Amino acid sequence: MTLSTDASALSTAMPPENASVEDAQRPKDYLPGDFNMWVFVLGDMIIFAIYFIIFMVERTRDRTLFLASQQHLYQTIGLINTLVLLTSSWCMARAVRATRSGNSVQALRLVIGAAFCGIAFIAIKVVEWSLEIHHGYTLPRNDFFTFYFMLTGVHLFHVVMGLVILGVVVRELRNPDLRRVSMVEAGATYWHMVDLLWIVLFALIYVMR
Amino acid sequence: MTVISTPATPTKAVDAQKYRRPGKLDQWICFWSVPIFFTLFGLIFVALTRVMPPPSPNLTTTQVLYFFHHHALTIKIGFTMLMVVVGFASWTNGLVATHMKRMSVGSVWAYGYIAALAVGAIPGCIFAAFAFLTAVFRPDRNPHVMVLLYDMGLLMFIGSLGCFAAQYLIFALAILLDKNKIFPKWLAYVTIWQVVTEGLAAPVFIFKHGPFAWNGAISFWQGTAIFVFWQVCLLYLLHRAIKDQPLGEAVQDI
Amino acid sequence: MLRDRLTWVWAALSAITTLSWWLARTAHDNGHFVASTPVTIGILAIGFVKARLILQAFMEVRTSPKWLRLFCDMWLLVFWGAVLGIYLYQ
């Protein structure tokens, strides 16, 4: 794998103004963002995969308990939060495209939109947690709720980190001297990963039977 | 750090350069102390005192007494050795801090890094060892006190999270903000994983079994695997940072 | 906007998310959740498709270097395969 330096060089070499909108016209084998961010994202995907697999193994040990506990989750709140994150990802993907075509005003608007969805996600999550805790379903309640709070908690930490990254993207987009396509792309790569991990979490913790 | 003397004559200058050339010898001594002390730490924690991988939090009083009885000698040897060598860990941290001071961020980041580690090591390493040493010092002690020392020792060893999480966060942010490219940015992200694993070990204070107990798959095993990966990356990149450091580079001291 | 690929992907993702939420609701007995292998397999399949769509379309893995495409597909197969395997293992 000969990737590190040429990959990051390619991403910064991409001119924002003339860059094409269409996938097909992008240089083939184009690594969006920067290599460092991909190290983080791919590593995080492996780490989370292991958390989820440990969850699955624990689940098979006591299926009845896990199923009965799922009953006390707010399935619809989970669905709404998934839709919020998907919308957020959609904004961010369009922000990348707007940045490539040099439309930084629209890009800025879309990144802020994505960040607002992220804030909404956190607010909804806090409401959901409070409802669970209010009804006595706290972290030590049973194995399922330990996983529920730990996994959604570590995901929420990633959402907060994502908001920090989006904040940096907004700052750079506002300043014409700092504006870089690779920065917006790297932020988007991270933000989509947060979405991806939530998709897995939703499937395994909320809806699987 | 790097001392460059002004030679008296040009010919002597060549000689002087030849013999005094390294200028980094101090750093290399420091660097190579790391594998030596890590080997010692491994020997102490894994082979001698048996706290890595940690014994179960779910033992009965009899089993705890048996654990201390069975490992009394190796605990004494191991943790006494630790008392002698534990300070050398700060040598490595000093080396990392030196390179943090070369970053474009202020020295306060390096001081924060050292301070967080120094405070974290007191419960996480030293108190844990004292708890075990105290337990084996008088094996005929009241069994409940033995269980207390067992729990305290291991909770402090695995459960000292906050200072280490802060240390990792300081290091990660320093790398991300640094404009001198002392370390590649991906090391910052790998360091953030460490913050996350410290957070996921927080439930060790609640559970006696399962993946979140102090010997659990998530709290201990995955955290340790990521720590080893991080440490290998850090050593490799530290080696590169020392090698690439220009001789006579001025290091800020603000 | 209707001719926009990203918008279609977003709409599809939202639709199948709602579908998996609805599927989960079908597995009950007088309001009590019951285990259901077909429902779970359906939900895991939807999860796989969603994860791949996000990687391919949003994260632009589709047009990325070969090593990344390979890594992501391997991750998808190994991870979702392991989840399904553990679920089916009795």
Taking an 8 Å cut-off on Cβ atoms, the answer to whether C60 and A202 are in contact is no
The Cα–Cα gap between A82 and B239 comes to 44
Give the model's pLDDT for residue C1: 58
Subunits touching B (CB < 8 Å, at least 3 pairs)?
A: A
Asked whether the predicted pLDDT for residue B35 surpasses 90, the reply is no
At residue A87 the predicted structure's pLDDT band, cuts being 50, 70 and 90, is very high
**Minimum distance, in Å, between the CA of residue C29 and any CA atom of chain A:** 12
Tens-digit pLDDT profile for residues B105-159? 988 999 999 999 999 889 888 999 999 999 999 989 999 999 999 999 999 998 8
The DSSP line for B16-35 is: HHHHH--S-HHHHHHHHHHH
Mean confidence (pLDDT) of chain B: 87
Residues of C in contact with A107 (CB under 8 A): none
Tens-digit pLDDT profile for residues A168-198? 999 999 988 888 889 999 999 999 999 999 9
Which of B16, B23, B37 lies closest to B251 in space, CA to CA?
A: B23
Taking an 8 Å cut-off on Cβ atoms, the answer to whether A86 and C13 are in contact is yes
The Cα–Cα gap between A88 and A122 comes to 13
By residue count, chain C amounts to: 90
Residues of B with CB under 8 A from a CB of A: 184-186, 188-190, 192-193, 196, 199-200, 203, 206-207, 210-212, 217-218, 222, 226
A196 CA to centre of own chain: 6
User: Which stretches of chain C score pLDDT less than 50?
Assistant: none
Say if residue B54 is preceded by a cis peptide, omega within 30 of 0: no
Q: Answer for the pair A67, B218: CB distance below 8 angstroms, yes or no.
A: no
Angle (deg, nearest 10), helices A35-61 and A4-13: 120
* CA R_g for chain A: 19
Angle at C61 between CA C78 and CA A172, to 5 degrees: 125
* Residue B159: both structure tokens together: 């459960």
Tens-digit pLDDT profile for residues B44-79? 999 898 888 999 999 999 999 999 999 999 999 999
Give the model's pLDDT for residue A2: 38
Q: Which residue has tokens 């390619």?
A: A10
Asked whether the predicted pLDDT for residue A107 surpasses 60, the reply is yes
Asked whether the predicted pLDDT for residue B254 surpasses 80, the reply is no
Tens-digit pLDDT profile for residues A118-171? 999 999 999 999 999 999 999 888 899 999 999 999 999 999 999 999 999 999
Give the model's pLDDT for residue B7: 46
